[in-house]
Structure 1
Amino acid sequence: MTSEELREALAVAVGDRSRVSDGDSERDLHASDISFHRPARPDVVVYATSTGDVSAVLALADGLGIPVTPFGAGSSLEGHVIPVAGGISLDLSRMDRILDLSPADLTATVQPGVPRSALERAAAEHGLFFPVDPGADATLGGMAATNAAGTTTVRFGKMRANVLALEAVLADGRVVRTGSRAPKTSAGYDLLGLFVGSEGTLGVITELTLRLQGIPEESVVLRLSFPDLESACRAAATIVAGGAGVTRAELLDAWTIASINSYSGTDLPAGPSLFVEASGSEGAVASDLDLVREIAASEGATDVVAERDPTARARLWAARHASAYASGAAVPGKKHRPTDICVPLSELAGAVAFAREQVDRRGLVAGIVGHAGDGNVHLSLHVDPDDPEELRASDELVDALVEDALARGGTSTGEHGIGLGKIHALEREHGDLLPLMHGIKELFDPNGIMNPGKVLARP
């Protein structure tokens, strides 16, 4: 089938020629995410506005054996939305309606193209918020597809813990629903959990029912500086193990702090730091912060500042979320190659020390940040994709980090996902389970059209 014939067939399928494009600019916009991975153009872009559109596109594609790559905001970090096999980029950003918001049930039902910030604004009108905060203003469908996490995971968990139900379209166009608005279930296999984190390889999520939380009475952030990274890591682990009900516990190394100061115009002390937030009733917050201060002092904290003003807190978290852009601005001319691993809390200090030693030994440039409260270590690595030696060194670094994390009882990725960048890491971590994973893929997508080249290598 020629590109023109495919475009016309898709226009008939969705009933609107204006939502199907094979123009160069549209294809370029859907050829990459925000990572260093090489872009790859789709043959055609389709903008879905309903579950019916998605069903029609997948049924057509499956019958013709044409690859389909779902696309949301394009903010993924491991090449998830790059259509490496060409075919159709299925853009879900126009499916952006909040279908229901139920304060009594603490739930919201949304289409997949709703940005996280839009749900935040709508929920706030009812004194509620959605707790998963990856930093980027990703779409909620994309967040579910990658099982996104972020700064608040230590308290509220990842997307899988916050999705109650979903609707998805399978590769052949069938529409299925799993889960319910009930807070829990024991009915059958957990297909809901299977779809969340499947990275568009099993089907396309077209609707989500999500948990909401009440906005707490009080929130305070402690900004803590430490003499070295290891003491900051030990403090974070002890804070969580000690029972402090913190909402966030974020680690930033000295290089990242300096980059943030330069980029955001802040004046943070240039040393390894923790940003620790406690939320809840006034009494509970005071108790938690007393414990945090005591632990920080035992690890030699050199600076302890409490931010209570909402504007000051928002400014601090905005600076934290901008750390990737800040580190990129510090090394112009290079591409961002973020990577993450996750380890048990008792191994956090060792994993961070190993990461820094490996970066320095290879002469690479990288900042270290992390969701220290749940053992998730991130490297903001910057490389020149056209420099073979630097690229090889970065590959070796990522491999070393994965091997070290696995040896510590951890995982190859805490939240970025596998995508196309960590397929070999998944094989090292779960080699004995790969036949089962391939069996699941074959059951859901027998013709292999769903986001090929991601998560699993071809058998």
Structure 2
Amino acid sequence: MSAPIIPCDRKPLPPGFLDEVRAVVGERLQTGEAIRLQHGSSETHFDPVLPDAVAFVRSTEEVAALVKICVAGGVPIVAFGAGTSLEGNITPVRGGLTIDLGEMNAIIEVNQEDFDCTVQAGVRREQLNEYLRDQGLFFPIDPGANATIGGMASTRASGTNAVRYGTMREAILSLRVVTPEGKIIRTARRARKSAAGYDLTRLMIGAEGTLGIITEITLRLHGIPEAISSAVCSFETLKGAVDTVVQSIQIGVPVARIEILDDMQMKASNAYSKLDYPELTTLMFEFHGSERYVQEQVETVKEIAGYNGGSEFRWSNLPEERNRLWKARHEAYYASINQRPGSLGWSTDVCVPISRLAECIVETKADLAQASVPSTIVGHVGDGNFHVIFAIDPNRPEEMHEVEAINDKLVARALAMDGTCTGEHGIGLGKQQFLVDELGDAVDMMRLIKRAIDPQDLFNPGKIFQL
């Protein structure tokens, strides 16, 4: 059992529709059940819903042609990248056509002197950084999964580096988008600032494909730091770890990454990723800059950690050691649900002001101590964002209800602290009522925008809010 899909009317495809689509993409139109299941399933606890067909596109012009066919026939459209979203963001609840942009994976240009690049939506973040490495540049947004850049833009992703480099909102300069009219628009130029009209770039970032299909993205880049050092520090108390994060941020230490893993997550990660760290609440740090500047950051944070009961730092300075450390962090979700093989995963996603972080995590940990479902805590605590990962037995529906109640309480706690129900996963199917609780009448303005741009409600219908 999993969380119910929000019901939407599903209509059969109009006569001749598949022939029209096939005329655009040829054999790249797929209707087999296995492909449809792959494009209708989620990384987390939502039931699969299959699209009627999947079209693999290779150009913006093909996307525009397919949009015109869908709009003329009243067929719902869902854009698909890597399928790594966690809130049912790409579930085709009304069937229709899923447009897979994974083959649009060209890096169009890199402007080294301007520290930016333009890529197609299907480019993966690891692919981009491998391409940029020899030019001394890197793209810092790291949500963990090897997601597509288009998907990261659509969900306003962030991840481990956000505390220093920001989220996709700060990383994107311009977008190329296919609108529900089938037009191809560019939302901005490459200039680092502009006051030219409405900020359509920001409107599309985080819209989850409900207002248009992003096909190209122009991104800010950064120079690869002269020195990178990673460290791990364990704490006897959860509060000591969180206080170290808050105090480091408050005095202005520009730490690139600060990740927290509670004692249960460390136990799971040690087993899954073959590590040997103490099974205590642990912080993972990464410092970027010149050799001297990194050393200054390290000494400051070590002093703060020691004051809060932290252990000696364990260093991972060599690239292969750092990669192994962060690979373990990126595998935290799978490590957590692997505690119960065959379980369903559910990852929460609240974010609170940094001054309320310790209070929020400590109260949440107390709730988890009373729960029957195994769970861990992991998060990008440098910006106040953390996740509870539950491993739910699919044969015990009462566990799903228990987790729903815990999540409801967690979100209510975060909103009471002037936080948000979603730091980086988006709304999708899972957080629609929480969005109303969080923003109230502002959601009505979102509905007005949706109706104006997509009057037939064909672009990823049923997501973010109900019309």
Alignment match, 1:199: 208
1:311 maps to a residue whose letter is E
Identity of aligned residues (%): 41
From 10, 16, 20, the equivalent of 2:21 is 10
Contact 1:3–1:43 (CA<8 Å) still a contact in 2? no
Q: CA deviation at 1:333?
A: 2.2
Matched, 1:48 2:60: no
* Cα deviation, residue 303, structure 1: 3.4
Q: What's 2:403 paired with?
A: 394
2:90 aligned with 1:81: yes
Corresponding position of 2:122: 113
Per the TM alignment, residue 331 of structure 1 is displaced from its structure 2 partner at its CA by: 1.5
For residue 127 of structure 1, the aligned residue among 136, 141, 150 is 136
Residue 296 in structure 1 maps to residue 301 in structure 2: no
Preserved CA contact (<8 Å) 2:17 2:73: no
Structure 1 letter corresponding to 2:118: T
Counterpart Cα distance in 1 of 2:238 and 2:349: 17
- Asked if 1:333 is matched to 2:342, the reply is yes
Distance 2:33 2:319 in 1: 44
Q: How does 1:333-352 map to 2 (within 5 A)?
A: 333-352=342-361
1:386 is displaced (CA, Å) by: 4.3
Q: Does the CA contact (< 8 Å) of 1:8 and 1:17 recur in 2?
A: no
User: Aligned letter for 1:7?
Assistant: L
- Alpha-carbon displacement from aligned partner over 1:269-293 (angstroms, at most 9, x marks no partner): 1100101111101111011111100
Partners in 2 of 1:273 and 1:320 — Cα distance?
A: 11
Q: Deviations over 1:286-338 (max 9, x none)?
A: 11111100110110112322221221111111111111111121111211111
Please state whether the residue corresponding to 1:342 is helix, strand or coil.
Answer: coil
Structure 1 residue 84, shift from structure 2 partner: 1.1
CA contact (8 A) 1:27 1:45 kept: yes
Matched, 1:178 2:187: yes
TM, length-normalised to structure 2: 0.96
Matches within 5 A, 1:304-343: 304-343=313-352
What is the aligned counterpart of 1:429 among 425, 438, 442? 438
- On the 8 A contact 1:7/1:22 being kept in 2, the answer is no
Post-superposition CA distance 1:203-240 (Å, at most 9, x none): 00011000110000001112111011111011111111
Given residue 321 of structure 1, which amino acid in structure 2 is its aligned partner? Answer: H
**What corresponds to 2:455 in structure 1?**
446
Matched to 1:319, the amino acid is: A
Letter in 2 for 1:395: E
Alignment partner of 2:248 out of 212, 226, 239: 239
Q: Is 2:231 aligned against 1:222?
A: yes
Structure 2 contact 13–96 (Cα < 8 Å) conserved = no
Given that residues 14 and 73 in structure 2 are in contact (C-alpha distance below 8 angstroms), is that contact kept between their aligned partners in structure 1?
Answer: no
Q: Match of 2:380?
A: 371
Which of residues 45, 56, 72 in structure 2 aligns to 1:63?
72
Question: In 1, are the aligned partners of 2:28 and 2:55 still within 8 Å (CA)?
Answer: yes
Structure 1 residue 345: deviation in Å? Answer: 0.7
Q: 1:348: Cα distance to partner?
A: 0.8
| Match of residue 150, structure 1, among 147, 155, 159 | 159
SS of residue paired to 2:51:
coil
Does structure 2 conserve the Cα–Cα contact (< 8 Å) formed by 1:7 and 1:21? no
Q: What is the rounded CA distance, in whole Å, between the counterparts of 1:19 and 1:3 in structure 2?
A: 20
Given that residues 74 and 458 in structure 2 are in contact (C-alpha distance below 8 angstroms), is that contact kept between their aligned partners in structure 1? yes
| Whole-angstrom CA distance in 1 between matches of 2:395 and 2:150 | 33
**Cα distance, 1:63 vs structure 2:** 1.6
Deviation by residue 1:222-259 (Cα, 9 ceiling, x = unmatched) = 21110111110111111111111110000000111111
- Aligned partner letter, 1:296: A
Q: For residue 9 of structure 1, what is the amino acid of its counterpart?
A: E
| Correspondences of 1:354-365 after superposition (within 5 Å) | 354-365=363-374
How far is 1:180 from its partner? 1.5
Cα distance in 1 for residues equivalent to 2:240 and 2:319: 28
Cα offsets for 1:184-219 (capped at 9, x unmatched): 222222110010110011100011000110000001
Do the aligned residues in 1 keep the contact of 2:232 with 2:284 (CA within 8 Å)? yes
Q: Partner of 2:110 in structure 1?
A: 101
Contact kept, 8 Å, 2:339 with 2:391, in 1: the verdict is no
Q: How many residues align?
A: 456
Give the whole-Å Cα distance in 2 for the aligned partners of 1:444 and 1:274: 44
SS at match of 1:340: coil
2:330 is the counterpart of 1:353: no
Q: Deviations over 1:14-58 (max 9, x none)?
A: 1x3201111111111111121111110000111111111111111
Q: 2:233–2:314: 8 Å Cα contact kept in structure 1?
A: yes
Please give the alpha-carbon distance, in whole angstroms, between the structure 2 residues aligned to 1:328 and 1:174.
Answer: 43
**TM-align CA RMSD:** 1.2
What letter matches 1:195 in structure 2? M
Provide the residue aligned with 2:262 in structure 1.
253
Contact 1:3–1:44 (8 Å) recurs in 2:
no
Q: Distance in 2 between matches of 1:2 and 1:445?
A: 19
Give distance in 1, aligned partners of 2:427 and 2:393. Answer: 22
Task: Quote how far apart the aligned CAs of 1:391 are.
Answer: 1.0
In the alignment, which of 119, 139, 142 is matched to residue 148 of structure 2? 139
Cα distance in 1 for residues equivalent to 2:279 and 2:374: 17
2:4 corresponds to which residue?
Answer: none
Deviations 1:419-447 (A, max 9, x none): 10111110110112111010111111111
Distance 1:260 1:252 in 2: 9
Deviation at 1:2, TM superposition (A): 4.6
**Partner Cα distance (1:413, 1:262) in 2:** 29
Larger CA deviation: 183-192 vs 379-388 = 379-388
Unaligned runs of 5+ in 2: 1-11
- Matched-pair contact (CA < 8 Å) for 1:226–1:303: no
The 1:3/1:60 distance shift into structure 2, 3 A limit, reads closer
Distance in 2 separating the partners of 1:8 and 1:298: 69
**Gaps in structure 1 of 5+ consecutive residues:** none
- When residues 193 and 270 of structure 1 are mapped into structure 2, their CA distance, relative to the original with a 3 A threshold, is same
